[in-house]
Amino acid sequence: MIFNSLTYLLLLFLVVTLYWILPYRARLLLIFSASLTFYGFWRVEFLPLLLLSTIVDWWVAQHMHGRSKSYRQLLLLISLTINLGLLFYFKYLIFFADNAIGFANLFGAELDPIILNIILPLGISFYTFQTISYTIDVYRRFIEPERNFILYACYVTFFPQLVAGPILRAGEVIHQFANRNKFSSEFIYTGLRRILYGLFLKVVIADNIAPLVDSGYSMSTDAMSAFDVWTLAFLFGFQIYFDFSAYSHIAIGSARLIGITFPENFNFPYIASSPKDFWRRWHISLSSWIRDYLYLPLAGVKVENKSLGGLAFAASEKKHTKALYLSWVIMGLWHGSNWTFMMWGVFHAVVISCYRIIEPGTRNFNKQVRALGGLIITLPLMMLAWIPFRSDSINMALIMWGKVLNPFAYSWLGMRENTYLITALIFLSIIITYTVRQKILPLISNTHVGLSLADIFSLGVMMALVIIFLRPINQFIYFQF
């Protein structure tokens, strides 16, 4: 069951209707059973795996309370071993086995490939990180263990964010499930509005960019010009942004319908003025997770407990640099068991390392000059980073990057002219949308009538386009992670 389908919209309608009718305890059972139903629509045989991860961390957290540090460390190790062990088996075993055999064969071992038929469970990367964060937060004594299993299970399995996030913190969400919200029309209005935004971004924009990206990346790299590489880098950057932010909008809106508030997951990342700023704006729940549960502990820096602020970077000390590169390698592999994803992570680590060196020398510049200069440099670099993320191989990514650096590769165009025009128009629309939302709307917020009419018109146009384009053809990109 995917968000851009009538099946999901029907399930959501039934859950929201029953939620506001039923008493408190029945509401929790409704959410839990609806979440299992949602996941079971994909493959019901993987439900026990989801429940195992949920039960293990609930049990571990219960037995941590009031115990010695050494005992809590043992329980934490049990949790990490089981969760990361399952994640490794289903997501990485084939990758590491194939590479180990290939490496051995380089030295004449002549080993046959291992045939493994392992299906990657939907959303395992997301709910594994979520349950791990709960156990670690209890270990750190940031939160108390939740005694009510169904309440805790709602936090882990809540269907709007189960398969592609946002990655939630227990301290931000569990208390919201525990509250007995009274019905408010504001929940319905804001929730439906966010869902409509998400469906519009997915079915009208992202799904119509996808064929252009697929066509471009299916070209021979010999036929690509440097202009083609830049265009494809930007096009895929736009596609994955609209696709994943669409999912986040729908997840946030679906939760809001029952009075649950999720932290935001995107904040106009393509207007970022630095790599640090970009990762404060892109996939905020993941980048802040990596910050608090991996990077800061490795760097020996005090840990926060908020899925806000993105991936902050400590000073450029030796141990911080090691933590930076290790975090980004893991961040890359989290997205997929392929060398291209690791290459994507290392690229970001290199860019951030360079930024650490350059940034102190720009502090005397005017704030506006720094922001504009940062945008001009940051945006192309972030788009170039998407090349290995989307490429079929490291070799393909290296050839495409080489085109960008080759002055002779700017002498022809390999794609249809409308592809370049569409890319430019999309970028222009992002700039206009950011300007209107962040600069203009706050100035006219008191003119309620004009603002309401504009809202009605824009929402009506989006709804019409969603109805026209709504087809459960393309899954969300982050479903594969």
- Annotated active-site positions, please? 335
Task: Locate 71 and state its tokens.
Answer: 């005992």
**Exposure string for 30-61, b = 16+ CB within 10 A, e = fewer:** bbbebbbebbebbeeebbebbeebbbbbbebb
Q: Residue 411 phi/psi, 5° resolution?
A: -100, 0
**Is residue 341 within a helix (H) or strand (E), and if so which, with residue range?**
helix 339-358
Q: Which residues contact residue 250 at a Cβ distance below 8 angstroms, ignoring those fewer than 6 apart?
A: 3, 160, 194, 195, 198, 199, 202
What is the rounded CA–CA span in Å between residue 144 and residue 286? Answer: 23
Q: Following DSSP, what letter does each residue of 10-61 receive, concatenated?
A: HHHHHHHHHHHHS-HHHHHHHHHHHHHHHHHTT-GGGHHHHHHHHHHHHHHH
- Residue 223 has what DSSP assignment? G
- Residue 210 has what DSSP assignment? H
**Residue located via tokens 């060196």:** 357
Of 481, 469, 480, nearest to 209 (Cα)?
A: 469
Number of CB atoms found within 10 A of residue 440's CB:
11
Contact 210, 474 (CB under 8 A): yes
- State whether the Cα torsion 142-147-151-155 is positive or negative: positive
22: left (phi over 0), alpha (psi -120 to 50) or beta: beta
| Alpha-carbon dihedral 364, 369, 372, 375, rounded to 10 degrees | -10
**Three-state DSSP class for 144?**
coil
- Residue 337 has what DSSP assignment? S
* Angle (CA) 29 32 33, round 5°: 85
Task: Locate 373 and state its tokens.
Answer: 């200069």
Number of CB atoms found within 10 A of residue 325's CB:
16
What is the rounded CA–CA span in Å between residue 317 and residue 322? Answer: 9
Contact 476, 164 (CB under 8 A): yes
Task: Locate 148 and state its tokens.
Answer: 């009510």
Contact 219, 408 (CB under 8 A): no
